Amino acid sequence: MASLFLSGFMGTGKSTLGPLVAARLGLRFVDVDALVASRAGRSAADLLRSDERAFRALEESIVVELAGSSEGAVVSLGGGSVVSARARSALLAGGVLVTLRASEATILERTASRVNERPMLAGDPVARIHELLKERSAAYAECHGEVFTDDLDEEQSCDAICSIFNDNPLVVPLGARSYRVHVVHERPEALTDAVARLGPSGVLAVTDSHVVRARGVSLERALGAIATPHRICTLPPGEEHKRLATIDTIWEAAIGQGLDREGVLVAFGGGVVGDLTGFAASTLFRGVRAVQVPTTLLAMVDASVGGKTGFDLPAGKNLVGSFFQPSAVVVDLAHLSTLPARHRKAGLAEIAKIALLFDASLVDELRVRADELVSGPPEALTSVVRRAIALKARVVSRDETERGERALLNFGHTVGHALEAHGRYTKYLHGEAVALGMIAELEVASGMGRAPKELVTSTRSLLQSLGLPTDVTRAELAASSSYVEVDKKRRHGRLVLPIAKAVGEGELLEVTVAQLAAALHS
């Protein structure tokens, strides 16, 4: 069983609630300060007071050790434990991290009687509480969920903590802009809760006519349970409508509804809806909040997470856009029950892509479970969807604006986007084009001696097992090459071409635009 880690400032209730939650979950309770004292041979407060550097080093080593343990526990962390990036990363990967919060007034009241035992509050406790909360706010925000304990009794606080633990959301850790990705099945209330938590003044849901027919009832059920007024903006479906004029439709709907800067846009649809809504949110009133609710497999594992937004120009795909992170993502696998089989297979291409780049064991799961993933019930996809999202979240947290590692996620996209544009966005679905792009780009890399030929063969076999196309004529590749010349990733006539140089190991390969175009013509 996974561990539950309770973080938060002193006085928020970690030591009080930890044993109660542990009893509920049937897990042992561990107090990090007690472990520090045991190993240091003196109280944590004494060590902190005399040598803060030694205290933090010992605290970090204990936290990393607990995060890596296979024995489940409820762990009460020290107030500053998560300030360490190494410890925080280990906690996010090793279990469910919940931050307990309380107002400064509540914290002062709860700590006043023992302020002399708290070295971090020495001097002026009021000023120190304010200062430390400000310093730690970004670190505290990187968690799987938050519980405000000011007005909750112990029973209610335990309920809220256990709810987060049982839901086990994924997190994209980006400091104060961190957000959760909820992976559920047939739970419209997950969207209700995600939007309600933001306390919006109004809600504009953006979708398209295909999605409304297939999943509109679920959307209305979720938004109808929120007291805040909402409106639905329905767009025409298809990549061919991923244009600035469509974004103008979203802006006008929001302004016509009377939405203000405290409003929330909800993107309810596939990647096109998600990209358009995200861009509209990033620019409306210079930024309003957005919640992504992907209804296609491809959008669930790709477009909805990471904050890339934008639209197409006649010259090419996604040439105008922004990086704008959502406030939450709700992935309800039940939406896939009405997804056409072809679109489901297209989504598997993005899972295969990230597996080939980062996780050989996920590649193995895709091979072994290919038939079930292609045609089984939606919930059969839970494992691979969660794993793919977790991998992407890890990359995004390290390189949000694609200055390095995140560029690997464009594997298959350089040629794939060219094929889409050449086909006027109607011949191939995005995932199909990416599958073809991965093969073409691996063949280019193989020809340059940067990828083994057997990797091209094994990748082709994997994609075929997932029902994806792997063969495109040389004539079509050559005809598509002109779109490579306006690819947004080019710099001074050169491109960084992401490839898998081995299963589970990605690499950035620099080529000239002319080299790639010539390879596509050969």
Which residues of 107-255 form beta strands (DSSP E)? 145-148, 170-172, 179-184, 203-208, 230-235
- Known catalytic membership, residue 521: no
Q: Which of 116, 134, 166, 286 is catalytic?
A: 286
Q: Which of 353, 392, 422, 460 is catalytic?
A: 392
* Candidate list 56, 353, 413, 460, residue with the active-site label: 413
Q: Beta strand pairing status for 73-76 and 3-8? A: parallel
Which of the following is catalytic: 59, 142, 239, 402?
402
240 is catalytic: no
Among candidate residues 136, 210, 317, 406, the one labeled active-site is 406
- Quick check: is 430 catalytic? yes
Cα–Cα distance for residue pair 251/345, rounded to 1 Å: 33
The catalytically annotated residue of 144, 343, 387, 430 is 430
What's the CA angle centered on 203, arms 141 and 233, to 5 degrees?
A: 130
Q: Are 436 and 428 in contact (CB under 8 A)?
A: yes
Question: Cβ distance 451 to 476 under 8 Å?
Answer: no
Distances (CA, A) of 481 to 140, 451, 474, 491: 47, 22, 11, 17
Catalytic-role residue among 59, 60, 350, 432: 350
Catalytic-residue membership of 221? no
| Spatial separation of the C-alpha atoms in residues 428 and 414, rounded to whole Å | 15
Q: In whole angstroms, how far apart are CA 147 and each of 16, 163, 197? A: 14, 10, 11
Q: Element (H or E) spanning 488, and its range? A: none
What distance in Å separates the CA atoms of residue 342 and residue 349, rounded to the nearest whole number? Answer: 11
Catalytic residue selected from 14, 344, 353, 410:
410
Catalytic, 424? Answer: no
Asked if 392 is an active-site residue, the reply is yes
Q: Is 308 a catalytic residue?
A: yes
For residue 375, the SS3 value is helix
Active site residue 350: yes
- The tokens describing 1, both together, are 């069983």
Q: Residue 480 carries which DSSP code?
A: H
Catalytic option among 230, 241, 308, 345: 308
Distance CA(490)–CA(480), nearest Å, equals: 16
Active-site amino acid positions = 286, 308, 350, 392, 402, 406, 410, 413, 417, 430
